[in-house]
Amino acid sequence: MGLLNGAAESEPVDLLASALTAQLRSTVMEGLSDPIMRKIAFSLSQRMRSPVQLLSCVNAVISHEAALSALPDVMLAGIADLAPLHGRIIIAAEGELIGTVVDAMFGATTSDFVTRHDLSAMEIRIGKQMIELTLDGITDVLASFTPLNWKIVQYETAVNMLAIADKKDWMISTTGIFETSLGIGSMRVIIPYAALEPFEIRINSQTWLIGSALVDHRWTATMAHLTATTLVDIAFDIARLPLPLGTVRRLAIGQILPLTLLPYAVASSTGLDLFHADYGQADGAVCCRPIAGPSDLFLSRAQRPLEKPMEPRPAHKVVGDPRQAMRSVVDLVRVDLTVALGKTVMTVGALSDLKVGALIRLDQPIEAPLALSISGRPLGQGEIVTTGNGRYGLKVIDLTGSVEDMA
């Protein structure tokens, strides 16, 4: 990676001016969807007298428009009012799943591979029963938090008739993939995430109970104390660059490294990436909010986003001092340069309870330079600048003793 001329025209980038953070509520359905879908599979097997198994369950927080556009072309959907909650819920049965259930009920032994364009009268009748069973499963699981009396008020086979909220509203979309003896199909549940606030409040206020006969209370008290008092240092990286050590050796104040900003901040601790976060400012402080990912809030190290590694320079035969030859080889060794938006400290308990959309205040003043580090060691400070053509660069404005140690 080459260095840009420090004297070239560049402008500081206000990282916080245009950052917009989605105000997402913790997706309660992620914890409830699996038992709901398993209950649906059991009910379908029992009522339809056809074996139905849950293969997988997928959750997503997406826009209302995206949730509807993801529905299959051939399906039957039921709409129920969420009274006393605000909003309406969509339960959609894929045409392929309805067809395989109907075929199995009537003794078919092979699936029909003809492309499906619509549903027969029999399939619509059975599809309505499948949707009602799904709604019963949802209300049964949620009944432990509050009694509900939801009923299907409308059935539709056309997606354009399913508008239940403003296009900008966020939806929780839960998809269960089911396998029958004749094929595979899906059931989808789409609900406004704002409607689940009462359940979130009730869940957070309840104590998770473990059988008292099996609990060592001293161990529980010890773990509770450790959870409440053990502190975790968390850094929020907004750029990561794998650099040859030789490039790091040649860094100087005023030089600019080209870089690509990550689309989000990556929260990490002791080399482990924890979650993604939007970033911005609130009340004069740099802040972050965890965002919903494709799966869990917490990430595995395998999902760590990095800049594309640079190709190493070809090795050249060096004649002369063998120490100089070894140094030329060492200069090709890559190290990770990270740019941190800021840091925070929280207890293990607070980290465990962290929810999507929670506001996290960092220790970084808004106008302060960003911290740079090499493989976890402090390197110096820098600022993000524009270098023209919509590209960004990292301008080095201060260096610590780490570079001298490498020389």
What are the structure tokens assigned to 308, written together? 């594309």
pLDDT on residue 215? 45
Q: Looking at per-residue confidence, does 111 or 39 come out higher?
A: 39
pLDDT on residue 218? 60
pLDDT on residue 406? 46
**CA–CA distance, 320 with 308 (Å, rounded to integer):** 34
- At residue 386, does pLDDT exceed 50? yes
CB atoms within 10 A of CB 281: 18
- At residue 165, does pLDDT exceed 50? yes
Mean pLDDT of 209-214: 39
**CA–CA distance, 11 with 8 (Å, rounded to integer):** 10
What are the structure tokens assigned to 377, written together? 């060691």
- At residue 313, does pLDDT exceed 60? no
pLDDT on residue 302? 36
**Those residues with Cβ within 8 angstroms of residue 258's Cβ, 6 or more apart along the chain or in another chain:** 1, 2, 4, 387, 391, 392, 393, 394
Q: Looking at per-residue confidence, does 277 or 215 come out higher?
A: 277
The pTM score is 0.45
- At residue 365, does pLDDT exceed 80? yes
- Say which residue the tokens 């990561």 belong to: 240
Domains detected in the chain: 29-205 (3.40.1550.10), 227-406 (no CATH)
Residue 215's identity, in one-letter code, is: V
Any idea what the Cα angle at residue 298 is, between residues 293 and 303, rounded to 5°? Answer: 70
Mean pLDDT of 281-286: 80
For residue 155, what pLDDT band results from cuts at 50, 70 and 90?
very high
Which candidate, 202, 179, 173, 187, places its Cα nearest to that of 61? 173
**Those residues with Cβ within 8 angstroms of residue 321's Cβ, 6 or more apart along the chain or in another chain:** none
- At residue 214, does pLDDT exceed 50? no
For residue 158, what pLDDT band results from cuts at 50, 70 and 90?
confident
Mean pLDDT of 144-153: 79
Task: Provide the H-helix boundaries in 187-258.
Answer: 197-205, 217-229, 245-249
Which candidate, 263, 271, 262, 234, places its Cα nearest to that of 358? 234
Judged by phi (left if over 0) then psi (alpha if -120 to 50, else beta), residue 390 lies in left
- At residue 93, does pLDDT exceed 80? yes
Q: Looking at per-residue confidence, does 109 or 354 come out higher?
A: 354
pLDDT on residue 198? 65
% pLDDT > 70, the chain? 70
Strand intervals (E) in 47-158: 52-63, 75-81, 88-94, 152-156
Phi and psi torsions of 342, nearest 5°: 165, -175
**CA–CA distance, 348 with 346 (Å, rounded to integer):** 7
174, 103 in Cβ contact below 8 A? no
**CA–CA distance, 153 with 82 (Å, rounded to integer):** 11
pLDDT on residue 8? 56
pLDDT on residue 305? 42
Mean pLDDT of 151-170: 78
Cross-strand partners of 281: 286
Tell me the pLDDT tens digit for each residue of 36-90: 888 888 888 887 677 788 888 888 878 888 888 889 889 999 999 887 776 788 9
pLDDT on residue 407? 45
**CA–CA distance, 210 with 213 (Å, rounded to integer):** 9
**CA–CA distance, 303 with 295 (Å, rounded to integer):** 11
Q: How far, CA to CA in Å, does 180 sit from each of 38, 73, 103, 241? A: 14, 20, 10, 48
Mean pLDDT of 265-281: 87
**Cis bond upstream, residue 84 (ω within 30):** yes
What are the structure tokens assigned to 212, written together? 């008292």
DSSP structural state of residue 59: E
